[in-house]
Structure 1
Amino acid sequence: LDETDVTDLPERDLYDIRLRKIGFVFQFYNLISTLTALENVMLPIVLLGALSEDDARKKAEELLRIVGLGDKLNARPTQLSGGQQQRVAIARALANDPPLVLMDEPTGNVDIVSEAVILKLLKTLNKYLGTTFVIVTHNPEVALIGDRIVYIRGGKLFEEKTIPKIDLKDVLDEAEIVRLQLEFLKREVLRLRRSRERGVIGREEYEELASRIRQRLERMRRVLREG
């Protein structure tokens, strides 16, 4: 995983990899019911410990704006629709900037409009940030957004080589999502710099996290140049 052999790693190291390098989105959201949307997204950031609480809060707010929930920061899960809860879960999965997000039936419990919004969001994040999403689904329409589709039948893997694409061009404003992502990444660099100056994180951890952000910024600029 990310050039690391995880086969025989001890549990503590596996915990650290899950926290830093893998995001998780579940079919039934798995949000903490006693926390607000903002607090749910803040949780993995606080657990990582790379940012101050104030910067963790600001980062969580920006992530919720990216997924279109800037007006639901203080709402608890029971006050949100299924589609909104799943978008909170996506923001939480992205909280520590993982290169990989694993998703179990991410649209299985949302209506058709929310499904389209979620799929467009995933396509945009993949296109501009390079985040890899591995989606498990029984819905063939959801599967069609993938660049690669693998079927499991009888415990064996089968791959489709030719994949027709689903049209999501009229769902969400891609330019607005990109603008929010750019602003978010630029502020994230400043937040990490403050954490380094305060001694919250060491030089090696700072360089690793900052390098990941620089790579994403460069990818976004390249995609924008290529149109």
Structure 2
Amino acid sequence: MTPVWYFTMHYRNKLRQIPLAVVAGVATLVVASGGSVAWFTWRALNPAPPVAEFPSIDIETDPLLALPEVSAPVTTPNTTETAPKDPVAQPAPAEVTGQVYWLKDTGTGFDLVAQPVSITADASPSEQIAAVFGNLLSKSGDPSQQAFTTIPAQTRLNEASVEADGVHVDLSSEFESGGGSAAMMGRLGQVIYTATAFDPSAPVWISVDGKPLTLLGGEGLEVSQPMTRSEFNEGFEL
């Protein structure tokens, strides 16, 4: 009978004869198998929680809502064009200026000199003429210019009007009384110039108590109808 120690020694020798590569492969397999067994064991003890599944929802899109947004066009203001502004109304003057004419002695004759007078602006042309004659017939002259009048103090204005053919002036009969030829020419010049204070080129029609004036004074100075300033200057020398 073979002793036990003999077999033990024989087995050890056989193991020494196994290649190292085979031993390493066997060891690797054992390690891998052990790892797999460990992973499966952990998963069995710690199961993964179930994943919740949500139902899918089909959303119907309104075709009107799907239209693309359209931006309103941006209008750039034209700075080169400016809206017309309403004209600023200017206040109407409260008064207008007229002239009354007096005579001034120059030593060798007479000069017609003007004195400004204020007339209400809203007066009509006929009212403006009446207003300046009111000043002419109510005063004896202009002391500041040493100027005087040769129209008799009792003379009145019967009527004054501005017509299409000129200025019409009707005086009372006192206008023809008294004075010599120089005084008569002087008073005629005062009437002609005062009547044309607002329109120097206007023709003047003169009447006395409604009758056209053709001869003035006792010496009979001829008065043409109508008469302008230039015609007076040509026909009469003061």
* Shorter-chain TM band: under 0.3
Larger Rg: 2
Relative contact order, CA 8 A, sep 6+: which one is greater?
A: 1
Tell me the TM-score normalised to structure 1 length. Answer: 0.26
Using the size of structure 2 for normalisation, the TM-score is 0.25
